[in-house]
Amino acid sequence: MFVLPQTAGCAAFVQLRQLQMDNSSFLSLTVVLLGLLGPCLTRLTPRVSFPMGSPGRRLTSFINDDIKNTTLLLLTPDEETLYVGARDALLELDVSQKDAMTLKNKLDWSPSDKDLEQCSMKGKKLADCSNFIRVLEFLNSSHLYACGTFAFSPRCTYINLDEGRGRCPYDPYQRNTAVIVDGELYTGTVADYRGNRPIIARHLSEGKRLDLKLDDTLGWLEDPTFIRSIYIPHEEKIYFFFSEAGREYDFINKFIVSRVSQICVSDVGGQRTLQRRWTTFAKAQLLCQAGSELPYNVLQDISILPPAEGAPADDTLFYGIFTSQWSVFSIFLYLSTFYLLKGTGCGLHNASDNALRFVKENFLTEDSVRPVARSLTMVSAEHIYCRLSVQRVQAVNRKHYTMLFLLTEAGQLHKAVLLRGGAHIIEEIQVFQNPQAVKSLKLSIPKGVIYVGTSERLVKIPVSNCSFYWNCAQCVLSRDPFCAWDPVGRACVEIFEAQTPLNQDVDGGNVEEACSSALLTHRTRFGPSTCPAGELVSVSLNEVVRLHCPAASQLSQQQWERPNSRLSSSLYLQLKDGSLSFVATPTTLGHYLCLSTENGYRQTMAIYHVKQKSSQAPTSYTHQTPVTQPARRPSPNTSTGRQKDNTPSLSVQSIPASSTHRLHDGELLVSSRGPCYLKELVAVSILLVLCLSLLITISLYFIRQRCHCKTIPQPQPSSRDAGKVTPEEVEPTGNKTLGKSNSEVARGRNARGFVCNGITTSSDGLLPNTPI
């Protein structure tokens, strides 16, 4: 059993080199890895987070109770229509409107009752016997080609239904891939009911071209999980990305490896050797590894990034998500342009039988695909990513930045930008809550939206959210290549819509340089004789006060200041959420200033004036909740998107009165009501005193019972006994008491002797008639 070793500090690097073509290698691939080892990486925290339904992030959803599992998406070339492969249905949605998705047509394609009965008799769950569409491609300009699982009996259709084996999996949860090139369908899937015959094949060939597939007897594939197939026009090749069991590691029980393989679209098979079989198939290992550690060996998803405008076609890049077979870490793999069968080309149909036999026996390259970058860039221990899309954006400085849209298993969509210092997660958007088995992403660059298909619903999300940033500082600190500050319109806008020079700093996020000093909301300072007005907080002495400081972002840090005074740790407690807690005393009354610091820029978030209540004031007072808002009023077409539900509030143990609003230093501070616990505190104190009094009373009672002391009554002597002297009257030393009368003796006894539990004691504490 292998255990993933711990990272040996932050100095670990990947051995980097570029593969060269040799006689025994069919594949040459240039790779760059993105990932940074866990202990070397600070926590990847999204700067802004939007829960589901948050007004700060506009989402458009398509929900229909009769339509589920909308997990296969296909956009038309004009990107006005979105075709959706769902469960038992094919949908045509109009997505031309910015904030709407309208159902235009629905094609029901469900198995018959007989098909469902046969599927159930095979031991399958009835819910899995539906028709889950798994292949959806444009056959030509007028026809679609779709394949579905169809009750574990795959079917395909474009005009009429036909046989679907070898083109679509049987199991709806088994991953597959397909792409259509010039009317021919290329698939990576399984060709049998049990899923034991993996296949990469070509279908719908016409004329002299033949349908081709892998030779099942050669073991070219070992229990693969297909991820994606991508056609590269300038190379006339199709690349298949998948993970499979590595036969070359036969000393490890089912060691998973990630692969990339190629086929040429011009391949027609061999004349004698490899007839109706691929002659251009080759595969290599994608080695995502840092130093001597075990590799991140399981490929999750892959996405293509075309070259920038005017750049050579060889600058095509691929981005992928890798996870480890032994750990929960996820890592990014950044693949640069690669070439398969470089030097030999795709024309092997006229090759000799000896050459084809060599191809048949040496389809796996000796060398693995290794990175050419110097280090890993990103490792996420707290997020497990499952899908991604990638886009290149040109910023205000004319520099291109790579944007990643990453879907987590937990249902969040992360928008990240790759910078020189590593990945920066700009925002986090929750798109679904319940666990989803199959999910998909489809990015529309011309429309500026990304589609997320899940089992619950279909969601359309704009790639930019510039109107959320209410001032220049927040716009620059977001470091979003899509957004920049317009000093004329005093708004954060999309760079494609602006007609004036914009302020932006994606690389550094330097507010002081990017924003004009006249437009900045400077930090408020306490002067020697003046204090800012602030929000009034009336308190009683000895109350516990808690002042909240709203965070500008999840990357900011809050600090507190007082005029001409330091916040002693013996008097003040700053909590993890940035709030300040203390007891109201004459020393702690006065002004408090809350500051937020991010990337070296400090700004005022809240100002409070804590004041003692007057004797005539009621037992209630107002406590305030500061919420940072834009100083200007947004236009009806602009969404400020501030989240009021998640804004921290000030809590002081008193009763609130009316709410107030005040605009200070370009930021709106809003007051709200809050709970009071003064009456409850008095009631609890009274009950505590009563309980203690009762406990003391009961304790004294039992002590008195155990030791009950009282005076012993003495009877009056009769005349007959008046002259007698009792033994008790005789002094231990022999002195007599004849000089005293009986009454005096009695009085002396009562004055000097007491009975405790039936035993007489003298006033000096000694027993009577006891020698001293």
What pLDDT sits at residue 43? 67
| 133-137, 544-548, 618-622: range with lowest mean pLDDT | 618-622
* Better pLDDT: 71 or 128: 128
What tens digit of pLDDT does each residue of 122-143 get?
Answer: 899 998 999 999 999 998 888 8
Q: Dihedral angle at the C-alpha atoms of 457, 458, 459, 463, nearest 10 degrees? A: 150
**Of 500, 492, 484, 525, the residue nearest 630 (C-alpha):** 492
pLDDT for res 704: 82
Report which listed range, 44-48, 67-71, 669-673, is most confident: 44-48
Answer for the pair 627, 556: CB distance below 8 angstroms, yes or no.
no
Fill in the DSSP letter of residue 503.
Answer: B
618, 654 Cβ separation under 8 angstroms:
no
The domain over range 468-519 is classified in CATH as 3.20.20.140: no
Residue 329's pLDDT is what? 61
Query: So what's the pLDDT on residue 381?
Result: 78
Which position has the token pair 């159930």? 120
Q: How far is CA 674 from CA 649, 669, 671, 680, 681, in A?
A: 8, 16, 10, 15, 16
Segments of 246-349 assigned E as strands: 256-264, 282-285, 298-305, 317-323, 330-340
User: In DSSP terms, which residues pair with 229 in a beta bridge?
Assistant: 240
Predicted local distance difference test score (pLDDT) of residue 633: 34
Q: Are strands 601-612 and 535-539 parallel, antiparallel or unpaired?
A: parallel
Q: Above 70 in pLDDT, residue 586?
A: yes
Residue 452 has φ and ψ, to the nearest 5°, of: -120, 120
Using left for φ > 0, alpha for ψ between -120 and 50, and beta otherwise, residue 271 falls in alpha
**pLDDT at residue 44, as a whole number:** 84
| Look-up of token digits 């060709």 | 191
- What is the gyration radius of the CA atoms in the chain, in angstroms? 41
State pLDDT tens for residues 85-131. 999 999 999 999 988 999 999 999 999 999 999 999 989 999 899 99
Asked whether the beta carbons of 405 and 46 are under 8 A apart, the reply is no
Lowest mean pLDDT among 305-309, 440-444, 457-461, 531-535: 531-535
Specify whether the CB–CB gap between 166 and 187 falls below 8 A: yes
Handedness of CA 70, 71, 72, 77 (dihedral sign): positive
Number of Cβ within a 10 Å radius of residue 743:
10
Are 84 and 134 in contact by the 8 Å Cβ rule? The answer is no
Contacts of 297 (CB under 8 A, 6+ apart): 243, 255, 256, 257, 258, 288, 322, 324, 325
User: Does pLDDT of 617 surpass 90?
Assistant: no
Q: How far apart are CA 539 and CA 545, in angstroms?
A: 8
568 alpha-carbon distance from chain centroid: 36
> For 327-377, what is each residue's pLDDT tens digit?
656 666 665 544 343 434 777 777 888 888 888 888 888 878 766 564 566
Total Cβ atoms within 10 A of residue 755: 13
Average pLDDT score over residue span 561-589? 90
- The mean-pLDDT minimum among 45-59, 344-358, 568-582 falls in 344-358
What value, to the nearest 5°, has the Cα angle with vertex 603 and ends 597 and 608?
Answer: 110
Contacts of 84 (CB under 8 A, 6+ apart): 70, 72, 73, 74, 90, 91, 92, 93, 453, 458
- Give the span between the Cα atoms of 484 and 498, in whole angstroms: 9
The beta-strand segments (E) located in 599-666 are 601-612, 623-626, 651-652, 661-664
Which residues make beta-bridge pairs with 412? 430
Best CATH choice for the domain 45-233+243-288+383-459 from the list 3.40.190.10, 2.130.10.10, 2.40.70.10, 3.90.480.20: 2.130.10.10
- Give the 3-state secondary structure of residue 381: coil
Compute φ and ψ for 701, nearest 5 degrees.
-65, -45
Position 458 scores a pLDDT of 92
Beta strands 422-430 and 48-50, pairing class: parallel
Residue ranges per structural domain of the chain: 45-233+243-288+383-459, 468-519, 535-675, 676-706, 708-772
Name the more confident of 532 and 50. 50
| pLDDT of residue 758 exceeding 60 | no
Q: For residue range 476-526, list pLDDT tens digits in order.
A: 999 999 999 999 989 999 998 777 889 999 999 999 999 975 455 444 444
d(CA 211, CA 372): 37
The phi and psi torsions of 476 (rounded to 5 degrees) equal -75, -40
The answer to whether domain 45-233+243-288+383-459 and domain 535-675 are alike in fold is: no
| Of the listed ranges 270-274, 531-535, 637-641, 768-772, the one predicted with least confidence | 768-772
CATH architecture of 535-675: Sandwich (2.60)
**What pLDDT was estimated at residue 722?**
41
742's enclosing H/E stretch is helix 742-752
Q: Is residue 743 predicted with pLDDT exceeding 60?
A: no
Whole-number average pLDDT of the chain: 75
Residue 536 corresponds to which amino acid? L
